[in-house]
Amino acid sequence: MMFKSEKKMRAALSVLAVVFGASAPVSSFAQDAAAQAPADAPAQAAGAPKLGWYKTCSKQEDNDICVVQNLILANGGQLVTAVGLISVSGKINRKLLQVSVPTARLVPPGVIMQIDGGKGQKLDYAVCLPDKCTAEIPLTDAMIASLKKGSDVIFTSINFRRAPNPIKISLEGFTGAYDGEPVSESKLAESQRSLQEGMQKKAEEARKKLEDAQKAAKAQ
């Protein structure tokens, strides 16, 4: 019976990356959204909207599940990288670090994590779905301590063109999110609404610039 419970929870954890990203305003990945970041230099997509680090908690049967997460969006709203530090306590106690990246990845290289440019740590892919691939690794106390001390973390996946897609994520606010209280549903909804409005404004500005450029070209 315990084996079945463990297996069920393990399956749930393997797809948690799908769940923890579902609350984002845009929950699907572009086919190669990460390509918006330079392929030869680790950098977050310029001007991309972000929520920063935050924690959500929920209860599943006899277990409490908390996820400290960060969602990186491209300028068009596509989710480029989703990071989740998952802690399960109760009948089952387990911690995982999961990272979701766009599809069309080379599977053997996995996702490489580097904190402040240190030695890379490989996360093997656990599942690939039509809109994302998710890699995971057991989350250790040493890893958490390194993230708390760090300034930024880079997650690098390899796309089908065999080009690395490094995404840099600031660790500012990570410690507060990890050690602090989870955000309320109302506060998270407010942040998401603000983010959505910001994306719509950027899209409108881009549309207007394009129209102005077309009008200028016709006038010549």
- pLDDT digits over 5-63, tens only? 444 444 444 445 334 433 332 222 333 333 333 333 333 444 444 568 999 998 888 89
Strand ranges across the sheet with 94-101? 54-60, 63-73, 79-90, 94-101, 132-138, 121-129, 111-115, 152-158, 164-170
Share of the chain above pLDDT 90, in %: 48
Q: What is the mean pLDDT of the chain?
A: 76
What mean pLDDT comes out for the span 190-217?
A: 68
pLDDT at position 46 is 40
18 within domain boundaries: yes
pLDDT at position 187 is 58
191 within domain boundaries: no
pLDDT at position 96 is 96
Specify which of 15-19, 117-121, 212-216 reaches the highest per-range mean pLDDT. Answer: 117-121
pLDDT at position 139 is 96
Question: What is the pLDDT confidence band of residue 190, given thresholds at 50, 70 and 90?
Answer: low
194 within domain boundaries: no
7 within domain boundaries: yes
- pLDDT per residue as tens digits for the range 65-105: 999 999 887 777 677 899 999 999 998 899 999 999 999 99
Alpha carbon distance 56, 189 (integer Å) = 12
| Sheet strands (E) in the chain | 54-60, 63-73, 79-90, 94-101, 111-115, 121-129, 132-138, 152-158, 164-170
pLDDT at position 23 is 35
Alpha carbon distance 142, 87 (integer Å) = 15
Q: The whole model's pTM is what?
A: 0.69
51 within domain boundaries: yes
211 within domain boundaries: no
Question: What is the pLDDT confidence band of residue 194, given thresholds at 50, 70 and 90?
Answer: low
For residue 137, give its domain range: 2-184
Number of domains in the chain: 1
Confidence check: pLDDT of 198 > 50:
yes
Nearest to 97 by CA among 64, 62, 141, 31: 141
202 within domain boundaries: no
124 within domain boundaries: yes
- Which CATH number characterizes residue 19's domain? 2.60.40.1880
